[in-house]
Amino acid sequence: MNSTNITKVTTHPTQNEALIFERSQPGRVGYRLPALDVEETPLDELLPGNLRRDDHLEGMPEVSEVDVIRHFTRISTWNYSIDLGLYPLGSCTMKYNSRLNERVARIPGHANLHPLASEEDAQGALQVIYELEQHLSEITGLAGVSLQPAAGAHGEMTGVMLIRAYIDARDGEGASARRRTMLIPDSAHGTNPASANLSGFKVKTIRSTPEGLTDLDHLRELCAVGDIAGLMLTNPNTVGLFERNITEICRIVHEAGGLVYMDGANMNALVGVARPGDMGVDVIHLNLHKTFSTPHGGGGPGCGPCCCTRELEPFLPVPRVIKDEDKFRLDFDRPRSIGRVKAFFGNFGMMLRALAYIQTHGPEGLREATEAAVLNARYIAHGLTADYDKPFEAPPMHEVVFTDKRQSRKGVHTLDIAKRLIDYGFHPMTIYFPLIVQGAMLIEPTESVGRQELDQFISAMQGIAREAAENPELVLNAPHTTRIGRLDEAAAARKPVLRWKPREAASAA
Amino acid sequence: MANVPEDLQYSKDHEWIKVEGDIGTIGITDHAQNSLGDVVYVELPKVGESFSAHEAFGSVESVKAVSEIFTPVSGQITEVNESLQDEPEKVNNDPYGAAWMIRIRLSNRGEVDSLLSAAEYEDFTKAESE
Amino acid sequence: MRYIPNSPDERAEMLQVVGLGSAEELFSSIPADLLLRAPLNTPAALSEIELLAGFEETAGRNRAARRPSFLGAGAYSHYSPTIVDHLIQRSEFFTAYTPYQPEISQGTLQVIFEFQTLVCQLTGMEVANASMYDGSTALAEAVLMAERVTRRQKVVVSESVHPEYLEVISTYVQHAGIELQRLGFDAATGQTAPAALSLLDERTAALVVQSPNFFGCIEDINALAERAHSVGALLVVCVTEAASFGLLRPPGASGADIVVAEGQSFGIPLSFGGPYLGLFATRERYARQIPGRLVGEAVDKEGRRGFVLTLATREQHIRREKATSNICTNEGLIALAATIYLETMGPTGVREVAMQCAQKAAYAARRIGGIEGFTLPFNAPRFNEFIVRAPSEANALLSRLAAERNITGGLALSRYYRDRPNDFLVCVTETNSRAEIDALAEGLAALTR
C-alpha cells in the first residue's frame, strides 16, 4: 500500500448513504399505531387553533421501516468500534462492553420503571442504587457516594460544589469568601477548570516537573498565598504516571486549609490495588463509562458518581437512598446538601450495567483487570520506545505518552501518525493531550486486548515510524483507506452548516 | 520567515499598530497568524468601548485554539473591521492590510514610544522561539 | 476472567518481556503503604446464570413497572418501535467513542447532524446541539447561556416549571452570580400569572417557562415572548413532554430564544429516570454561545461531503475555565435512539402520537372530572397531563388504587407541594388503552364512594 491515488469505487450504495432527509419520499410510512379507541374530541375543542402547529412538520423524513434499517446499518459501518478492535484512546478507557450488562439493563422490571413510582413499588431499583454506592465506596475508600451526576464533568461539578459548601460551613460565608482559588495542574483535563469555574472558583495552574509529576515546590508556594479552596488532581495523572507524592500533596493542601479533589478518569489503573481515600483524597468522581465498562455510545450516556469522605457526605446531592432494616427509602431532608444536580436519580441504566460489571468480576477479577490493563500499557511502552520519543522516564501505569519529536524532523506530526494508524486498521490514540507534552500521543490499551493485537499495534506504529523517515508523503496524506479523506475543518468552522435544509431554502440562504 | 513591515510598531503580544494623528490602527502580526493556523473566527469589540493598554479587546480563533488580542495602547474604539466576521481568512492572507481589526483613539500618546520597532520585534520573536 | 483475553501464561511472558518478575511490580511506583493488602470487600464473582437471577429478583420488586400507569411529570411511557433498540445495539454505534476522528466516525457524525436537524424542525429553532444530559440540566445551561448573551444577572423563573428542574437550576446558578426570582402561577388557569410578569425589568437576562407546564397547562408563549423582549430579556422555553411537539405550535414560531426539552418521549425507556436526553436549540446568532458539542458539514480534498465536530473553541477542552460549559460526554447513544425513533415515525407518526395523547387525555379528563367529588382545578388548554383534585388525600387514594386495583393512577402533588394534599397529576399517552382509562375512573369512583 504505497499509492496516494487509489481510485475509490464511487457508486457503492453502502458507501454513499445520503442524509435521511434526502432519502425521503412523500407517503412512505415506517410505523403503525392502534386505532384511537376513545370518542374523538373535535380538534378546535381539544386545542385552540393558535396553539397548534401549522407547519405539518415539513422537512421531517418520510421513510419506510426498511429504509430506516438500511440507513442506519449502512452509516454504522463508517464507524470504528471497540468490537472491531483496539481503541487505544488515552484517558478514555475504551474497554469491552459486555452484552450481559446490556441484557441486565433491559430487564422489563428495571427498564419500565417510572422514576416517580412510590418507594414501596421501586424497592428493587433503590436496592441497585444502594448496593452500587456501597461497592464504589469500598473501591474508592470513601464513605459517601452519590450516583446522581450524569457524566464525569457533572461529577466534577458536584465534587467541587461539595468542597465549596464544606468550606463555607467550616469557615462561615464571610471567611470562606477569601478561599476562592482552585489549584489545577497544567496537565489536567479541560473539564477540571471548567467545572471549577462553574462553582465560582478562580483557577490557578500548577506546573509539572520535567519528570511529569506535580511540582511540590510550586504547590507549596501557591498554598502559602492562603486563599486556596482545594486542588484538583488526576491520579494516575494524564501522562500515565502515579503521583508518588500523593500523600504529601494531600498533606500540603490540607495544612493550607484546602481539600483534595481527585479526577477519577484514570481509576482503571487503581481498582483493587490502591484507594484514593487511603491517599488522603477528600472527593473523587468516577466514570462508569470508563472504568466500569458502561458503553460509551459514540459520546454518552455516561454516569459520574461522586464519592467523598464522611465529612463531606452531608453536602451530597438530594435525595439519598437510605436502608432502614430491609427496606430502602429516599431521604430528601438534607439541609446541608448542595441541592439537586439532575432530575430524578441519575443515569440508572448505567448503574445496572456497572453493578453487573462489579458482580461479574468479583474482587479478584477487578484486580486482575487492573493488572492486565497496566501490563498491556507497559508492553506497548516497551514496544515503542525504540521508534518514538517517550518524554517521561518513569514506568507508566495504564496509559503511556509518546511524542512526534523524532518524526517531526521529517515534517510528520502527531496528527499524521494518528491518521496513518487508521490505514493499519486501528483507531488513533488520544492526540495533543495532555497539553504540556508537545505533539502528545497518549495510548491506553485497557485490559480488553490480547497480546497478538498489541503486537500488531506495535508493528503498525513501527511501520509508520519507518514510513515517516522514508516516505513522509504517504503519512502526510493518510488515511488512504477510508470513505472520505481529511475534512476541511477550517472552512466548516468559518461558515458553519449545522443542519440540513431543503434545497430551495438552502440555496435561498 | 514572517513578514514584518518597517513602517509599523509592534507589541510583545504580537499585535501591530499604525498611528496616524491620534488614531491607531491595530491588527495581529504575520508571525501571530502563522502560529495560529487557519483563522476561523474573529471576535471584536463595539465602537465606543474603551480599553487600557495591554487589555484584551477581542479574540482570534483557529479550529482548535483561541487567542486573546491585546491593545498595545489605551483609548476608545472608533471603528472595527466588520468584514472579518464574514471573511476571517483575511487574517491569514493579509494581516497588515485587509485584516486590520480596530481603530482606536489614543488617550495616552506616550504609550506609543514604548512599543517595538520592526527590527526589535523581529529580534523578540526570534528570541521567543529559541 | 472471561473479559480479559490474555491467559495467565501469556501475561507471565509479557511481564518477562517488559522486565518484571511479577504482577505486583507493575505497581512499584505506588508507595507500599498505599497498596491494598487484601482483596476488595465486594461480592464474589457471579456466573451469567446467577447474575441474571439476581437482577430478575430486584426487577421483580419494582412492582410499579408491571402495572398500568398514569405517571408523567417529566418521564413518559411511549411506544418505541422495535427497530430503535435493535439498531442502537449495533457494535458500531454503542461501542464507539466520541467522534474525534472524523474519517472513522462518519456514522456517528451523520447521526448527530440528522439529530440536530430534527431538533430544529421540532422546536422551530435554527441551531441545536448534539445533546445535553437531560431536560433539567439543559434548562440550567440555558439559564447560564442567557446570562452570557445578555450580560444581565437576574433570571425570572415560573413556578409552574417542573419542581426538580427548578432545584437543578438553583444548584447550577448558586455560584454564578445569578439572582433567581420565582414567578407565581394563576390559581384559575394554572398558567404563569400575567400579573407576576411585572418582575421583569431591565436587569433581567431571561424569563424561563415550561409548556406544557408541570400542571399540564399550555402557556401563552407568544405573549410571554413579547413581555420578555420588551425589556430586552430572552425567553427560555422548556418542554418536558417532547411528544407535544407533534401537535403544539413550536416555541420557535412563538418567539422563544432558547428552547430546551427532555427528549425521553422519543423512544427512550423510563429506566427509573435515566439515561435520558437533553435537547438544546437556539437562534443562529447565538450559535457561539451554545454549550456542548456541535456537528457541522465539511468537505474533503476531493469535494466529498462529510461531517465534523465544529465550533469546538467554545468547549472545555480548548477554552478551559472560559468555556461555555463544562460538559464533555453527553447522551450520544440516546440521541441516536431518538433519531431512529423520529425518522421511523416520520411527520405522520409524530403527529399521530401527539393527537392520540391529547385525545385520550381529553377523554380521561372528562371521565375523571365527571366523578362525584372530583374536580379539575385548572382551566387552561392542555396536552396530555392534567391536575385532578380528589375529595380526599391523594397520596392515600393512589396507594389504595395501586394495592386494590393494580393501577398507578398518577403523581400526588404533595411530593412537591405540601399545600396541595388532594391534588394529583394524571398523564395519558398513546400506550394507555381506553380500558385502562375506564378502570382508572371506575377505581377512583369506587374508592371514594
- C positions 293-322 inside 8 Å of B (CB): 312-313, 318-319
Question: How would residue A507 be classed by pLDDT, with cut points 50, 70 and 90?
Answer: low
The pLDDT assigned to C449 comes to 87
How far away is chain B from the Cα of C157, in angstroms, using its nearest Cα?
31
- What is the four-CA torsion angle of C75, C79, C85, C86, rounded to 10 degrees? 180
Give the B:C interface size as CB pairs under 8 Å. Answer: 14
Q: Which three cell numbers stand for residue A450?
A: 490480547
> What is the mean pLDDT of the segment spanning C92-112?
97
How far away is chain C from the Cα of B43, in angstroms, using its nearest Cα?
11
Gap between the Cα atoms of A227 and C421, Å rounded? 48
> What is the mean pLDDT of the segment spanning C167-172?
97
Question: How would residue A506 be classed by pLDDT, with cut points 50, 70 and 90?
Answer: low
Using only C-alpha atoms, chain C has a radius of gyration, in whole angstroms, of 25
Q: Which residue has the higher pLDDT, A61 or A6?
A: A61
**Chain C CB contacts of B41 below 8 Å:** 288, 313
Q: Quick: pLDDT tens for A8-50.
A: 566 888 889 999 999 999 999 999 999 999 999 999 999 999 9
Cβ neighbours, 10 Å, residue A170 = 13
Question: Rounded to the nearest 5°, which phi and psi values hold at C175?
Answer: -115, 15
A155 has a pLDDT exceeding 60? yes
Interface-testing mutation among C151, C290, C313, with chain B (most B C-beta atoms within 10 A): C313
**Chain B CB contacts of C312 below 8 Å:** 63-64
Mark out chain B residues that contact chain C at CB-CB < 8 A: 41, 61-66
**Chain B CB contacts of C318 below 8 Å:** 64-66
**In one letter, which amino acid is C197?**
L
Q: Which of A39, A436, A417, A14 is nearest to A211 (CA)?
A: A436
Closest-approach residue (CA) in chain A for C10: A451
A4 has a pLDDT exceeding 60? no
Which string of DSSP letters, residue by residue, matches B47-96? TT-EE-TT-EEEEEEESS-EEEEE-SS-EEEEEE-THHHH-TTHHHH-TT
Between chains, do A152 and C328 touch, taking CB under 8 Å as contact? yes
The pLDDT assigned to A509 comes to 47
> What is the mean pLDDT of the segment spanning C201-230?
97
The answer to whether C444 and C409 have CB atoms below 8 angstroms apart is yes
Gap between the Cα atoms of C433 and A23, Å rounded? 34
Gap between the Cα atoms of C362 and C356, Å rounded? 10
Q: Within A141-275, where are the H helices? A: 152-171, 173-176, 191-198, 216-224, 246-255
Q: Of A432, A489, A494, which is closest to B89 when you measure between CB atoms?
A: A494
> What is the mean pLDDT of the segment spanning A430-447?
95
Gap between the Cα atoms of A416 and C259, Å rounded? 40
Cβ-proximal residues to C224 (8 Å cutoff; 6+ apart), any chain: C192, C197, C207, C209, C235, C255
Q: Which three cell numbers stand for residue C304?
A: 466529498
- A positions 42-71 inside 8 Å of C (CB): 46-48, 50-63, 65, 68-69, 71
The pLDDT assigned to A1 comes to 47
**Chain B CB contacts of A432 below 8 Å:** 64
Q: Which three cell numbers stand for residue B36?
A: 495560529
How far away is chain B from the Cα of A263, in angstroms, using its nearest Cα?
24
The answer to whether A46 and C363 have CB atoms below 8 angstroms apart is no
Q: Quick: pLDDT tens for A92-107.
A: 999 999 999 999 999 9
Closest-approach residue (CA) in chain C for A272: C40
B129 has a pLDDT exceeding 80? no
How far away is chain B from the Cα of C84, in angstroms, using its nearest Cα?
35
SS3 A335: coil
Q: Quick: pLDDT tens for A329-383.
A: 999 999 999 999 999 999 999 999 999 999 999 999 999 999 999 999 999 999 9
**Chain B CB contacts of A433 below 8 Å:** none
How far away is chain B from the Cα of C311, in angstroms, using its nearest Cα?
7
How far away is chain A from the Cα of B43, in angstroms, using its nearest Cα?
12
The answer to whether A95 and A268 have CB atoms below 8 angstroms apart is yes
How far away is chain B from the Cα of A415, in angstroms, using its nearest Cα?
13
Interface-testing mutation among B35, B40, B91, with chain A (most A C-beta atoms within 10 A): B40
The pLDDT assigned to A504 comes to 67
Gap between the Cα atoms of A93 and C289, Å rounded? 30
Gap between the Cα atoms of A92 and A291, Å rounded? 9
Question: How would residue C102 be classed by pLDDT, with cut points 50, 70 and 90?
Answer: very high
> What is the mean pLDDT of the segment spanning B22-46?
94
The CA-atom distances, in angstroms, between C197 and each of A119, A419, C146, C192, C194 are 38, 56, 18, 8, 5
Gap between the Cα atoms of C223 and C215, Å rounded? 19
**Chain B CB contacts of C313 below 8 Å:** 41, 61-66
Gap between the Cα atoms of B103 and B92, Å rounded? 19
The CA-atom distances, in angstroms, between C124 and each of A377, C280, C412 are 49, 12, 33
- A positions 142-171 inside 8 Å of C (CB): 150-154, 156-157, 161, 164
Q: Of A164, A287, A496, which is closest to C296 when you measure between CB atoms?
A: A496
Give ∠ CA A151-C326-C177 in degrees, rounded to 5: 120
Gap between the Cα atoms of C357 and A118, Å rounded? 24
How far away is chain A from the Cα of B19, in angstroms, using its nearest Cα?
31
Closest-approach residue (CA) in chain A for B92: A490
Q: Are strands C278-282 and B66-70 parallel, antiparallel or unpaired?
A: unpaired
Q: Quick: pLDDT tens for C224-250.
A: 999 999 999 999 999 999 999 999 999
Between chains, do C174 and A75 touch, taking CB under 8 Å as contact? no
The answer to whether A100 and C48 have CB atoms below 8 angstroms apart is yes
A253 touching chain C per CB within 8 A:
no
> What is the mean pLDDT of the segment spanning C245-265?
98
Q: Which residue has the higher pLDDT, B126 or A119?
A: A119
Distance separating the N- and C-terminal Cα atoms of chain B = 15
Give the A:C interface size as CB pairs under 8 Å. Answer: 683
Closest-approach residue (CA) in chain A for B85: A494
Q: Quick: pLDDT tens for A190-208.
A: 999 999 999 999 999 999 9
Q: What is the average pLDDT value for chain B, to the nearest integer?
A: 93
Cβ-proximal residues to A44 (8 Å cutoff; 6+ apart), any chain: none
The pTM for the full model equals: 0.96
A82 has a pLDDT exceeding 90? yes
B130 has a pLDDT exceeding 70? no
Q: Which of C15, C34, C37, C36 is nearest to A374 (CA)?
A: C15
The arrangement of strands across the sheet holding C385-389 comes to: C385-389, C423-427, C411-412
> What is the mean pLDDT of the segment spanning A168-190?
92
Gap between the Cα atoms of A260 and A309, Å rounded? 11
The CA-atom distances, in angstroms, between C43 and each of A141, A356, C38, C60 are 16, 11, 14, 21
Query: Partners of B15 in the beta sheet?
Result: B28
Q: Omega into A236 within 30° of 0, i.e. cis?
A: yes
The pLDDT assigned to A12 comes to 86
Between chains, do C134 and A273 touch, taking CB under 8 Å as contact? no
The pLDDT assigned to A331 comes to 97
Quote ipTM for the complex. 0.98
Q: What percent of chain C has pLDDT over 90?
A: 96
Q: What is the average pLDDT value for chain C, to the nearest integer?
A: 97
Between chains, do A490 and B62 touch, taking CB under 8 Å as contact? yes
User: Which of the other chains make 3 or more beta carbon contacts under 8 angstroms with chain A?
Assistant: B, C
The answer to whether C39 and A403 have CB atoms below 8 angstroms apart is no
The pLDDT assigned to A173 comes to 82
Taken as a whole, chain B contains a residue count of 130
> What is the mean pLDDT of the segment spanning C138-165?
97
